[in-house]
Structure 1
């Protein structure tokens, strides 16, 4: 039963991340902030995209930690590992498609695990605080 709960926890975080990333991209494209089909924009705008993706990824990994039946940090890191693998695959697959600067795609690979670790730590600190345990 814990295996199904673990899979469900990771799936919930994964779905949250996918929906929030895609929806935010679509909204920003629809209102003209981002161009459709490529990311050749200012460095500041690319950093903004990385920032909101990092924030949504942090929230998704936190959700996974929250729902994990045990060892929330491990669950968060597993989701971060999956994010690293999928981001690397995306960077490799799109390398010749001229969709944007390569450093953008590879930055998503680099930040996936640290964000998942941070989400796990944040969950642990909130759990300790609720239990009245000093950090």
Structure 2
């Protein structure tokens, strides 16, 4: 006589933990970006808040650290995800894409800087969060192979 085993019950989705993972990644990007902005304003690298910033080199600087912070946000989201880390990183990317589009639509008519800057923020949201998620997957697979 053979013993029959019941199939394992599927793991619950843990929606709350998933939402917290995406929120944590989003807050990572926002807090680090605004904190760095404030620091550069206080050092008088950037003009005072509310004044336009048309210098291409300053906008490239802002874009550079935002790219790094967005990759980090994708990593944080993937790291905290209860399952499917890349799916969570993609969700964060789409959240960033949405807010980037809204920000671009608001910023471009206000002439706060060059139009390419908010467009670049929109275009880099998905690739950067994907890269952060891949970083986490590589890290976790390297640990498993030890």
What TM-score results when the alignment is normalised by the length of structure 2? 0.86
Q: Give the number of aligned pairs.
A: 132
1:18 partnered with 2:9: no
1:31 partnered with 2:43: yes
1:129 partnered with 2:131: no
SS for the counterpart of 1:34 is coil
Contiguous gaps of at least 5 residues in structure 1: none
Task: Spell out the pairing of 1:1-135 with structure 2 (5 A cutoff).
Answer: 2-36=14-48, 37=50, 38-41=52-55, 43-132=56-145
Task: Please give the root-mean-square deviation of Cα atoms over the aligned residues, in Å.
Answer: 1.2
Larger radius of gyration: 2
Q: Is the helix fraction higher in 1 or 2?
A: 1
Pairwise CA distance, 1:7: 0.3
- Which 4+ runs in 1 deviate beyond 3 A? none
What TM-score results when the alignment is normalised by the length of structure 1? 0.93
